[in-house]
Amino acid sequence: MSELVKSIAEVRNIRWQNPAQTWGLVPTMGALHAGHLELVRRALAENDRVAVSIFVNPLQFNQASDLEKYPRQIEHDIELLQPLGTHLIWTPHVEEMYPPHFQTTVNVEKISQPLEGAARPNHFRGVTTVVAKLFNVIQPTRAYFGQKDAQQVKVIQQMVADLSFNLSIVVCPTVREPDGLAMSSRNQRLNPAERQAATVLYQALQAAQNQWQNGLRNSKLLHETMRKIISAAPLARIDYISLADPLTLAELEGELKQALVSMAVYIGEIRLIDNLTLE
């Protein structure tokens, strides 16, 4: 049976019952899907104990309506996690995570700024602050993140290096639906027509990858390919399409040697992201 806990004190108590055990942490915002469960399975394979945190972190939402509409289904999440053998499920109280007069945040400077950082001001400050807190409370041996959120991985790796956190970050591949759509808790909010249109992100990424495999290296032409495919989808609106340096996330122009291709696209009201690396 998984232990279900809310308070920081309870988490610490369980974490340190046997200090010799290794712990994996999978931070999530709940509404779990097969992508999350892959992270949990990997953590279970690599650690003696696994904790999954479920916390819809208000600090990382820049729109109140997005926070309010974010899917919450804790009972179902627990039903998914228990049979896997998850040892600890932590659902923090927002009041304990952010007590009155809370005033300390963690901000990773440069790599937080482009892409999602530009589109969602203060988003990454919210992410790094909550992840730093989760790391401090659980002190995991390893923490598991999805490549689906490529910039988030880079920002967290930078934070871990800069602040000397004593843990390893494990990055897991993006899990997709059979039609290629990257799994996301936000997909639940798509109506049937939008769900169909949402495959356009992966189609665009694949078209770029096909061209790359055929030897095309020109960033303008790769951009154009993706833009055309997405613009043709009736319910899709491009927020950004980027070809960036995989290390610095600086936008690339001209002939490319490698690139992180990433995009954010509105399907109706729902903003979806996806990425892949060309190398």
Q: Which residues bind ligand AMP (CB under 6 A)?
A: 28-29, 35-36, 38-39, 145-146, 148-149, 172, 174-175, 182-185
Q: Which is nearer to ligand AMP, 131 or 256 (CB)?
A: 131
Task: For residues 203 and 270, give the distance between their C-alpha atoms in angstroms, rounded to a whole number.
Answer: 18
How many angstroms separate the first and last alpha carbons of the chain? 44
Question: Closest Cα to residue 128, out of 70, 62, 59, 185?
Answer: 59
Indicate which residue of 36, 93, 101, 223 is catalytic.
Answer: 36
Bridge partners of 53, per DSSP, are 27, 90
Per DSSP, 16 falls in state: T
Torsion of CA 242, 28, 33, 108, to 10 degrees: 10
In the complex, least distance from residue 178 CB atom to ligand AMP, rounded to whole angstroms? 13
In the complex, least distance from residue 231 CB atom to ligand AMP, rounded to whole angstroms? 25
In the complex, least distance from residue 42 CB atom to ligand AMP, rounded to whole angstroms? 10
Q: Which is nearer to ligand AMP, 43 or 208 (CB)?
A: 43
In the complex, least distance from residue 224 CB atom to ligand AMP, rounded to whole angstroms? 27
Answer whether 42's CB lies under 8 Å from 169's CB: no
Distance of CA 138 to the CA centre of its chain: 19
Q: Which is nearer to ligand AMP, 169 or 216 (CB)?
A: 169
Residue 101 is a catalytic residue? no
Q: Which is nearer to ligand AMP, 194 or 274 (CB)?
A: 274
Answer whether 220's CB lies under 8 Å from 209's CB: no
Residue nearest to ligand AMP (CB): 146
Distance of CA 141 to the CA centre of its chain: 20
Amino acid of residue 216: L
Q: Mind telling me the catalytic residues? A: 36
